[in-house]
Amino acid sequence: MKDTPFDMADETVLITGGGTGLGKQFATVLAAAGAQVILCARRVDKLEETVAQLRDQGADAHAIPMDVTCSESVTAGFKQCLAIAPVTVLVNNAGLAGESMLLAMPEEEWDSIVNTNLKGAWLVARAAAQQMIDHEHSGSIINIASVLASSVQKGTAAYAAAKSGVVHLTRAMALEWARYGIRVNAIAPGYYRTDMAEAYLDSPAGQQLLKRIPQRRLGDPAEMDGAILMLASTASRYMTGSTVTVDGGLGLSIV
Ligand SMILES: NC(=O)c1ccc[n+]([C@@H]2O[C@H](COP(=O)([O-])OP(=O)(O)OC[C@H]3O[C@@H](n4cnc5c(N)ncnc54)[C@H](OP(=O)(O)O)[C@@H]3O)[C@@H](O)[C@H]2O)c1
C-alpha cells in the first residue's frame, strides 16, 4: 500500500552499473523510498560492497553479475532476478565514455562505447519489458542519457552519438510499450564527479568547462534524487518518452 505518489514500496528496481557512482546513488534513494533493489554490473566485488552498505541502512538489496553488451549475460541476469522478484522498475544506467578524437579512434573503442551505452540499453530494457509483460505488471524504465546527447564536445563523438541514440530510443520504447502500461523516460545528467568523469574534470579542459556551468559547480549525485524518484514512481504516471535534464544549466547556452 503506497502512502505518497513517491512511495516505492512493493517495487523491485534493477539498476545496471548500480555498484558505483550515479547508479549507487539511484539505488540508495530508491531503497530509502521502500524499493527492493537489484544491482547489476561486471565487477561483482563493487556490487557486493554497495549491497552490504545498503543492507546496513536497512535496504533489501541484491547483486547480480551482468554484462549489458552480451545478450546471454542479460538473459541469465534477468533469470536470476526473477528468482528474487520480477522487475517492475529498470534504471538503465551502465555506461562507458572514451576520449579519442574521431580520426584517431580505434574501431574497438567505437564498438565498446556504442555497445555499452546504446545496444546495452536496448538489450536490458527489452529483457525488463518482457519480464513486466509476462507478469502482467505495469512498469517504469529510466534510461540514463547525458547532456552530451544534445551538444558535443571534442573527444566524445562515440559517447555523444550513443547518448543521443538513447534519448531517441527512449521515445521509441515509450511509443511501443505504452500499450503494456510500461512508461519509458530518460535523465540527461550534466557533470558529476564519478569514476567515469574524474580524469576529465581534473584536466585543463574539465576546469574550463566548470566555468561554463551557469550554476558554477558540478552536480552532487544526490541532486538527481528528485528526478529519479519522480520517474520511477507513480508521481510521473502520465509521463512517457520525456527526458529530464539535471545539469546546473550547462546545456542552455552556446557560448
Ligand atoms: N558522471 C557524469 O558526469 C555523467 C554525466 C552524464 C551521464 N552520465 C552517465 O551516468 C551513468 C553512470 O555513470 P557514472 O558517472 O556513475 O560512472 P561510473 O561510476 O563509471 O559507472 C558506470 C557503471 O557502468 C557499469 N558498466 C560499464 N560497462 C558495463 C557493462 N558492459 N555491463 C554492465 N555494467 C557496465 C560499471 O560497472 P562495471 O565496470 O563493474 O561493469 C559502472 O558501475 C552512465 O550511463 C554515464 O554515461 C554520467
Q: Which of 159, 191, 192, 200 is catalytic?
A: 159
Burial of 118 (0-12, 13-18, 19+ CB in 10 A): buried
In the annotation, is 200 catalytic? no
Cell 517492475 -> residue: 88
Q: Where are any strands of DSSP class E within 93-175?
A: 139-144
What is residue 66's DSSP assignment? -
Centre of ligand 1 to C-alpha 24, Å, is 10
Could you give the CA distance from residue 207 to residue 84 in angstroms, rounded to a whole number? Answer: 44
Distance CA 211, CA 147 (A): 16
Whole-prediction pTM: 0.98
Distance 196 CA to ligand 1 centre (A): 7
| Cβ neighbours, 10 Å, residue 10 | 12
Residue partners of 11: CB distance under 8 A and separation at least 6: 30, 34, 35, 36, 88, 89, 232, 233
Q: What is the residue-level pLDDT of the chain in tens, covering all 255 positions?
A: 677 999 999 999 999 999 999 999 999 999 999 999 999 999 999 999 999 999 999 999 999 999 999 999 999 999 999 999 999 999 999 999 999 999 999 999 999 999 999 999 999 999 999 999 999 999 999 999 999 999 999 999 999 999 999 999 999 999 999 999 999 999 999 999 999 999 999 999 899 999 999 999 999 999 999 999 999 999 999 999 999 999 999 999 877
